[in-house]
Chains A and B, each alone.
Chain A
């Protein structure tokens, strides 16, 4: 049972580039979320989904897009990377109780 798989683990982008952070879960969880973790800020919710085809914005959605075409996958797209998006990104999934987190993606935008 793989749980929540995030790829890549590390990424360096140049300002203005776009990329997609992948997230997949094999637990048939309805709820999936993307968080970013910055020093002193804790985990902040970017976007979340309550099921295939349903997404909504979290606390810090600007500069990010998501889609949920299947139950398993919830990719996060950075449209035009900015240095302020340098962070560690976590994907998480749940059936409505405790969340299972992926191992994180460390993104640096230069």
Chain B
């Protein structure tokens, strides 16, 4: 089972700030790295799935990068908005079917 770690545990930013979070995982036996957004009282929602070293994905103001050689991924949010407030989860897997989740980064964006 992969050991997936996320930092920081929580983050409080103001509207308009740009921010980033880190997900680290063992670089051996790696298959894919997932990012999910989890709003309170809802279910996790997939943002990105990355498999190749150097992968970069973007969806609106949110983007992610992957470094499989050193075992980390960054999630970036440009110009944070209150609606970005959520817990951001990353998950790693040695296969497509078996994911290990980190404990998440809780982001709070205030006006």
Q: How far is the CB of B63 from chain A (nearest CB, A)?
A: 16
Whole-angstrom CA separation of A103 from B41 in the bound complex: 9
**Chain B contact residues: over half helix, strand or loop, or mixed?**
strand
Does residue B71 face the partner (Cβ distance < 8 Å to A)?
Answer: no
- A residues 49-65 in Cβ contact with B at 8 Å: 49-50, 56, 58-59
**Chain A contact residues: over half helix, strand or loop, or mixed?**
strand
Quick one: which of A31, A49, A59, A104 contacts B43, CB cutoff 8 A? A104
Q: Which residue of A lies closest to B4 (CB)?
A: A42
Compute the total of residue contacts between A and B using a CB distance below 8 Å: 58
Q: Is the CB of B97 within 8 A of A101?
A: no
Q: Is the CB of B97 within 8 A of A48?
A: yes
Known A-B contacts A42-B89, A59-B1, A97-B49; A102 and B43 likewise in contact (beta carbons under 8 Å): yes
Quick one: which of B42, B43, B48, B99 contacts A33, CB cutoff 8 A? B99
Does residue B44 face the partner (Cβ distance < 8 Å to A)?
Answer: yes
Size bin of chain B's contact surface: 20 to 34
Q: How far is the CB of B30 from chain A (nearest CB, A)?
A: 15
Q: Is the CB of A41 within 8 A of B103?
A: yes
User: In the complex, which residues of chain A have a beta carbon less than 8 angstroms from the beta carbon of B45?
Assistant: 101
Does residue A45 face the partner (Cβ distance < 8 Å to B)?
Answer: yes
Whole-angstrom CA separation of A104 from B98 in the bound complex: 19
CB<8 Å pairs between A and B, sample of 6: A33-B97, A42-B104, A43-B44, A48-B98, A92-B44, A103-B42
Contacts from B to A (Cβ < 8 Å): 1, 34, 36, 42-49, 89, 91, 96-104
